[in-house]
Amino acid sequence: MRLRWIVALTAALSLGLAGCSSQPNSSAASGDQVDRTIVIGVGGEPSNLNPVFGDIYGSVYGDHWPVFSSLLDYGQDLELQPDLAAELPEVSTDGTEVTVKVRDDARWHDGEPVTAADVAFTYNAILDPSVATPVRDLLFRSLRKVDALDAETARFTLHEPDQAFLAKLTTGIVPEHVLAGQDLNKAAFNLAPVGSGPFVFDELRPGERIVLTANPDYYGGEVGLERVVVTFVEDESARVRQLETGALDVDAEGLGPQTIRRFEDNPDYRVVRIPGDLLTLTLPTTNAFFKQAEVRRAIGKAIDRQQLVDGLAAGAGRVVSGPFYPDHWATDPSVSVAYDPDAARAELAAHGWKPGPDGVLVRDGERFRFDLIYGHGYAEDAAALAIRDALGNIGIEVKPKALDYAEQQKQVAAGAASLQGLGNAYDPAIDVFDTYHSSLSDDDPSGNVARVESRRIDAAIERGERSNDLAERTAAYHELHRLLVEHGSWQYLMQGDNYYAVRADVSGVEPQVREGHVHGFSRGLLWNLADWSVSGP
Amino acid sequence: MTRHRNHGLGRLVARRLLVLPVVLVAVAAMTYLLVAVSPFDPMSAYEAGSAGLSAQAKDEIRAAWGMDAPTYLQFLHWLGNVLQGDLGHSRLLGGQPVLPQLGARLAPTAILVGTALALTLVGGLLAGVAAAAFRDSWVDRAIRGLSYVSVAAPSFWTGLLLLWVFSSWLGWFPAGGSANLRARDVGLVDPRYLVLPAIALAATQFAWFAMFVRNQLLEVMREDYVVFAQAQGIGRWPVLLRHALPNALLPFLTLAGVHLAEIVGGTILVETVFSWPGLGQLAVEAARAVDLPLLVGITLLGSVTVVLGNLLADVCYRVADPRIRESTA
Amino acid sequence: MTGEGTPVLEVRGLGVSFRTRRGTVAALRDIDLQVAPGQVQVVVGESGSGKSVLAHSLLGLLPRNVEVSGSVRLEGEDLLGVAPERMRQLRAQHLAYVPQSPATSLNPVRRTASLMAEAARVKGVRRADLGERLPAVGAAVGLDYGSVARRYPHQLSGGMQQRVVNALALLGKPDLVVADEPTTGLDRDRVTATGNELLRLADEGASVLVITHDLDLAAALGGRTAVLYGGRLVEERPTAALFTRPAHPYTAALLAAMPARGLHPIPGQPPELTDPPPGCPFAPRCERVRPECGEQVPAATTLPDGRVWCHAAR
C-alpha cells in the first residue's frame, strides 16, 4: 500500500529573500581543511539509520541509502538487478519459495564477510513482532520465514505466492555479528550503523549532518566521491540560500516549481526533474452524495486536468487518466477522461440535481455541498482550491478542510472526500490490493479509503497478482485501469514533477526514470551516488 | 554580615533545590497528562510517515514501545526508571537513551542561548544607558526607534533579514548551520556561524532590556541619592554608572527569569531559520512525533534551566541589594 | 543686610519658573539675598513657598523644564549659565549640600566608606590621605568612622545618617553649605542636635544657608533669617530681631502660629503659584491690608537691621 497525503507536490513559496548574488564555495575557501566533499541537503533528520525499520525517512522503499546494500536493487529504468545477490533469485514453481545466492566478495565495513546468515537475520528481525517496524506489515505479510541454507544461500518461505516479492528484496541487509542478541529497537547501531554499501558511516552530528566516506573495499567497484556530507535543512528557502552561497552542492529534498526557476537559467546549476506522485481526488462510495458511479464520473468530467497541470505544476506536470504512472507498463494508454462540464451538468440533472437560486445544485431541498479533506501545506491548499473552483463551476459547493493526519484518517474513514497522493513506481502488485480490493473496504482507514466494492475490480487485482506472465498481468492491470475510471470513486488528476538542483561541477548525475516520492538520500536522484564525482573541491 | 548573608542565601538555594525535583515531577506528569488528553496519538503520528498499518501491526509497535499501557501507568513506569537515572528511550532518535542524546544536542543550543543572553545584556545595557544619558537627543530617539522595530519584528523575520543582508548580499556570514559542512573535525560550533543567529535571538530581548534600562535609569535619576551625588560634584558619568545604574538594574534581576524563559523558547524559531542544530528544532520534532520520553526530557531540561536561571537571578538580587540580603538572613 | 566683607553668595533678582502643561508656574520671583563669609543665613517658609527651588538653584540642580532670570553669584562667579563641568567643579570644591532626608539621600547599595571615599576624591582629597581624612572629618561631626565604614546606609541610625551627610558636606572645606530642610521628620531632640551640627559646620569656616519651615530650628541657629512667601521674600533681618519684633504681617502671623506662642492659625490659603495675586502675595490673608496691597508688589523697605517688603511698613 503506497498511499500518502499529497506531499509529493513540492510546490512551495520561496520567500525570495535569498540570493541577490551568489558566492560559490565561499565557505570552502575559508581555510578549513576540506576534501573533495559533496554536501547534500535533505529536509529532515532521519530518526533511524537501521534499514530494518524501513526508510530512514519513515517510508518503506527508501531502503537503499548507500551505507547498506541489498539483495536486489533497481537500475536507472527501475528494472530489478542483483546487488548482494550473485544473480536474480530463483522462485519455486508454486511461487512460495525464493532462493537467493549471496555474492562471496562482499564485506561489512568492519571487514567481516557478508553471508546468507546476515540475510536471514535481517528478514527474521523484520518478522519479529517485538521489533517495532512498520515494514513487517506493509511489505512482508506474505513472508513466513527465512533460512540460511549455507553461507551463500538464503531461502525465503512465503505463506502464498507474491508477485511483488522480489521488489521487496531491496531492504538493506544488516550485520548479524554486530546485532545478534540485542534489542533492535534500542540498539546503538540505529544511529551508528555498519553496512556493506559503497559508503562507510563516519559520523552523525545531531541535528546537522551525517558524514559518509568512500568504502575502499566496495565489491561494486571504485567509489567516485571521497566524502559525502548529508545535512538536514528543513526550510526550503534556507536550502536555496545555502545552495546559492555554496554551502550545499545538491538539494535532494526537492524544490517547488516556482523556486526551481531561479536555478534553471544559471550555468552553475543543473536542474534535475523526476516525475512524482499522482494527485487524486477520492469520492467514497459510502458518502450519500457519491453513491452513483454516474455522479462520481460527472464530478471527474467537471475538472479540467490540463488547467490543474498549468496552475499547480507551472505547466511542467502531466495529465493522468488512471492509477499508474503514465509511462508504466500497467497503464492502458487508450484511456482518457475528457473535460466536459456540460455533460457533467446534464448527468447530475438526470440524477435530480438542479441549480438552486444561488447556482448551487439542489435535490429534494438538499444542497450539493461536501467537505474536501487534505493535509496542511501550501501546495495542498492550492490543489484543494483548484478543485473547489472547478466543481463550483458546475454548481457543487466544496469546502476545503486542511487537517492533521489523525483527523484526516477519521474523516476519510467516515466517508469524506479527500485529496490523496498516490505513487508506486514499481510493481503494481505492491499496492493495488490494499488500495482497491473490496475485502479492505471497512471502517479501518488504513486500506481502500474510497470504499471501492466491485467484483470485477477484485478479479482484475487478483489476476494481476496471481499471474507470472507479464502479458497476462499487463492485460489485467489495463482492465483494472479501465474499471477504476468507470467506477469513478478515484479521480486521477495529474502528475507533478519533483525538482532537484545540483551544482554543475558534480558529474555522474543520472537519475532514475521515476520516483513517486521524495526519499532524501535514497533512490530517485541519488540512486547511483557511488558513481558521482566532483571536479573541484 | 557576611555570615548572615551566606546563611540566608544558603537557605534560599537549599530550599529551591529541594523543591526542584517536585517541580520536575509535576512538569513531567503535566506533560503526560497533556498528551493523554490531547487528540494526538503517538501511533497516528508514527503512521503519518508510513500509512496503512494494520491494527495488529499497530498493537505490536505500541507494545514494543510500552505505549500499550494506560498513560498513567506509562508515567509511573517512566518515573520508576528515572529514579534509576534512565529517562527512557526515544523513537525519534533511533531508540537511543534520551539523557545522553539530549546531552549531545544541548551544547549548540546552550552556546546560542548564552551568546544571545550576553549580547542582550551588554547591548541592552549600553543602548539603555546611552539613551538615558542623552535623553531626547537623536541618540535616544534612534535607540528607541530601533527598539520599537525589534519588538514588533518577529524573530524569524529579523533572522531572514539578517541572512539576506549579511549572508546573501554582503556575504560576510554563512547562510546557516553551525559549522562549515565541508570541514573535518569541526568543534562544537564555528563562531562565524554563531553571529547571525545569536543576534536574531538577542534581538527578541534587546529592545525590552534597553528600554527597561533607559526608563529605569531616568526614574532612578530623580531619586534623592542621585541628586545628592550630583550635589557633591560627582561627575555626570560616575553618577549615572555608579549611583543610578546599580539601583536601576536591581528590579531587572527579579524579571530575568521570565525573560530567560522567553529566550529559551525563542530558540525554536531562530534555530529553524538558521538551520541551527539545537534542541529547539528537536523539541518541535518530538512534539510532532508525540515522542513522550524525548518530549518530557526536553521539557524537563527547559524547566531546570528556567528554575536554575531564576535561582541565579534571585541569588544575584540578594547579593546586589544589601537591604534584601539582610532581610533574608 | 550687613556688609562684612565680600559676600560668599549674592543672589540678585532671581526668578525661577517652570514650564508645565498648564502654563508657566513662577516658583521664585525677585529674590535678593547675600550671605557673608562665616554667616548663618536661614530661609523660612511654608511648603510651596519655593524653598527647595531656591536650594536647587544655588546648586545648579534645577530640572530641565525651567526658565531662570536674575543672577546667582558664588564668590563673584555667576552660577546661572555656567558650563556643566564648571558647575560640577563648583559643587565639588566650593559648595556643600545637606539634603532634606539623609535616609533616602545615601545610595542604598553602597557602603558608607565607599560613598565617603568617592566624595572625598571628587572634592580633591588624595587617595593616600583618605585613611586619615575620613576619620578626621567624621570626628568633626561626631561620627565614629570606624564603626560605620563597612555598613550600608540602611544599617545606620537616623542620627548616624545625618552625621554621615554632614561629614560629606565638610569634606571639601566648602565656602557655602546649603542645607535643605535638614530637620524634616526629626524629633525635638534631634532638631536641636542637627542645629548644633550645622553651627559646627559654620565653626569650620563655611557660610551656612539653611532652608527650613522649622521656626524652632531658625531660632536655634541664630544668624540672619529671610522669610519666603508665595515665591517672594517678605522680610530679611537678624534672626533674633525678627523673632522678637517681626516687621512683616506674615512673619508676625507665622510666629503666632508656633505652638509655643498659642498656635493661632493663619486664616485663608497660601496663593496658587499658577495664578498669583497681582500685588503683595500675602494681601488676601493680611489683617493690615491696604488698597494698594492688592495692586502693586511692594518694593523693599530698608530697615536699620534689614529689609521688609510691605506697603504697611513704609
CATH of the domain at A128: 3.90.76.10
Q: Are strands C207-212 and C224-229 parallel, antiparallel or unpaired?
A: unpaired
Task: Please say whether the beta carbons of B294 and B230 come within 8 A.
Answer: no
Cβ–Cβ contact B231 with C under 8 A:
yes
pTM score, whole prediction: 0.75
| Residue A521 located in a structural domain | no
Cβ–Cβ contact A154 with B under 8 A:
no
Minimal-distance CA residue of chain B relative to C89? B233
Q: What is the pLDDT of residue A59?
A: 43
Do residue A416 and residue A307 come from a single domain? yes
Q: Do C100 and B224 touch (CB under 8 A)?
A: yes
CATH number at residue A479: 3.10.105.10
Q: How far is A185 from chain B (nearest CA, A)?
A: 6
Q: What is the pLDDT of residue A20?
A: 29
Phi, psi of A14 (to 5 degrees): -85, 135
Phi, psi of C144 (to 5 degrees): -85, 95
Q: What is the pLDDT of residue B207?
A: 85
Closest partner CB to B234 (pick from C99, C122, C152): C122
Q: What is the pLDDT of residue B257?
A: 72
Do residue A413 and residue A289 come from a single domain? yes
Q: What is the pLDDT of residue A348?
A: 93
pLDDT in tens, B21-66: 898 999 999 888 888 887 777 776 666 555 567 778 888 888 888 8
CA dihedral A191, A194, A196, A198 (to 10 degrees): 60
Do residue A171 and residue A308 come from a single domain? no
Pick from A131, A156, A188: which residue ends a domain?
A188
Residue B261: is its pLDDT beyond 50?
yes
Q: Give the distance between the most distant pair of CA atoms in chain A.
A: 78
Q: What is the pLDDT of residue A344?
A: 93
Q: How far is C88 from chain B (nearest CA, A)?
A: 5
Q: Do C152 and B242 touch (CB under 8 A)?
A: no
Q: Give all chains having 3 or more CB-to-CB distances under 8 Å with chain C.
A: B
The fraction of chain A above a pLDDT of 70, given in percent, is: 90
Phi, psi of C214 (to 5 degrees): -95, 105
Closest CA to A348 of A416, A417, A291: A291
Q: How far is B1 from chain C (nearest CA, A)?
A: 9
Do residue A314 and residue A168 come from a single domain? no
Least confident of A34-38, A170-174, C94-98: A34-38
Q: Which residues in chain C have Cβ-Cβ distances shorter than 8 Å to B227?
A: 61, 99, 105
Residue A19: is its pLDDT beyond 60?
no
Q: Which residues in chain A have Cβ-Cβ distances shorter than 8 Å to B55?
A: 444, 446
Cβ–Cβ contact A113 with B under 8 A:
no
Least confident of A230-234, A253-257, C274-278: C274-278
Residue A322: is its pLDDT beyond 60?
yes
- Mean pLDDT along residues B147-170: 81
Q: Do B326 and C154 touch (CB under 8 A)?
A: yes
Residue A90: is its pLDDT beyond 90?
yes
Q: How confident is the model at residue C5 (pLDDT cuts 50, 70, 90)?
A: low
Q: How far is B226 from chain C (nearest CA, A)?
A: 7
AA letter at C74: L
Q: Which residues in chain B have Cβ-Cβ distances shorter than 8 Å to A8?
A: none
Do residue A422 and residue A304 come from a single domain? yes
Residue A34: is its pLDDT beyond 50?
no
Q: Which of A201-210, A480-489, B119-128 has the highest mean pLDDT?
A: A480-489
Do residue A171 and residue A297 come from a single domain? no
Q: How confident is the model at residue C314 (pLDDT cuts 50, 70, 90)?
A: low
Q: Which residues in chain B have Cβ-Cβ distances shorter than 8 Å to A232?
A: 275, 277
| Residue A312 located in a structural domain | yes
How far apart are the C-alpha atoms of C203 and B94, rounded to whole Å? 86
Q: How far is B29 from chain C (nearest CA, A)?
A: 43
Closest CA to A404 of A433, A380, A431, A423: A380
Q: What is the pLDDT of residue B7?
A: 59
| Residue A471 located in a structural domain | yes
Q: What are the residues whose beta carbons fall under 8 Å from the beta carbon of C126, sequence distance 6 or more? A: none
- Mean pLDDT along residues C235-247: 92
| Residue A40 located in a structural domain | no
Do residue A487 and residue A375 come from a single domain? yes
Cβ–Cβ contact C101 with B under 8 A:
yes
Phi, psi of C246 (to 5 degrees): -60, 140
Do residue A283 and residue A175 come from a single domain? no
Closest CA to C194 of C149, C229, C232, C161: C161
How far apart are the C-alpha atoms of A134 and B49, rounded to whole Å? 10
**C230, three cell numbers:** 508665595
Q: How confident is the model at residue A421 (pLDDT cuts 50, 70, 90)?
A: confident
For cell 549674592, what's the residue? C10
Q: Do B64 and A30 touch (CB under 8 A)?
A: no
Q: Which residues in chain B have Cβ-Cβ distances shorter than 8 Å to A129?
A: 60
Higher pLDDT residue, A267 or A405? A267
* Structural domain for A106, as ranges: 55-188
Q: Which residues in chain B have Cβ-Cβ distances shorter than 8 Å to C122?
A: 232-235
- Mean pLDDT along residues A339-347: 93
Our count of domains for chain A comes to 2
In angstroms, the first-to-last Cα distance of chain C is: 18
| Residue A25 located in a structural domain | no
Q: Which residues in chain C have Cβ-Cβ distances shorter than 8 Å to B223?
A: 104
Closest partner CB to B232 (pick from C91, C110, C152): C91
Task: Please say whether the beta carbons of A277 and A422 come within 8 A.
Answer: yes
Do residue A175 and residue A291 come from a single domain? no
- Mean pLDDT along residues B263-277: 84
- Mean pLDDT along residues A483-508: 91
Q: What is the pLDDT of residue B328?
A: 46
In angstroms, the first-to-last Cα distance of chain A is: 43
Higher pLDDT residue, A157 or C202? A157
Minimal-distance CA residue of chain B relative to A132? B61
Do residue A351 and residue A490 come from a single domain? yes
Pick from A188, A221, A250: which residue ends a domain?
A188
Residue A405: is its pLDDT beyond 80?
no
Residue B212: is its pLDDT beyond 70?
yes
Q: Do C97 and B232 touch (CB under 8 A)?
A: yes
Higher pLDDT residue, A14 or A396? A396
Q: Do B40 and A406 touch (CB under 8 A)?
A: yes
Pick from A188, A207, A231: which residue ends a domain?
A188
Q: Do C154 and B234 touch (CB under 8 A)?
A: no
Q: What is the pLDDT of residue A32?
A: 45
| Residue A410 located in a structural domain | yes
| Residue A240 located in a structural domain | no
Q: Which residues in chain C have Cβ-Cβ distances shorter than 8 Å to B247?
A: 107-109
Q: Are strands C66-74 and C9-20 parallel, antiparallel or unpaired?
A: antiparallel
- Mean pLDDT along residues A156-162: 91
Q: Do B247 and C100 touch (CB under 8 A)?
A: no
The H or E element spanning position C306 is strand C306-308
Q: Is the dihedral of CA A191, A196, A202, A205 positive or negative?
A: negative
The three-state secondary structure class of A279 is strand
| Residue A286 located in a structural domain | yes
Alpha helices in A168-315 (DSSP H): 176-179, 236-244, 261-264, 293-301, 305-312
Q: What is the pLDDT of residue B326?
A: 58
CA dihedral B239, B240, B246, B252 (to 10 degrees): 160
Do residue A288 and residue A175 come from a single domain? no
Mean pLDDT for chain C overall:
85
Q: Are strands A153-158 and A97-101 parallel, antiparallel or unpaired?
A: antiparallel
Do residue A355 and residue A459 come from a single domain? yes
Minimal-distance CA residue of chain A relative to B188? A205
Chains A and B touch (3+ CB pairs under 8 A): yes
How far apart are the C-alpha atoms of A59 and C254, rounded to whole Å? 96
Query: Cα dist. A51→A58, A61, A196, A424 in Å?
Result: 10, 10, 12, 20
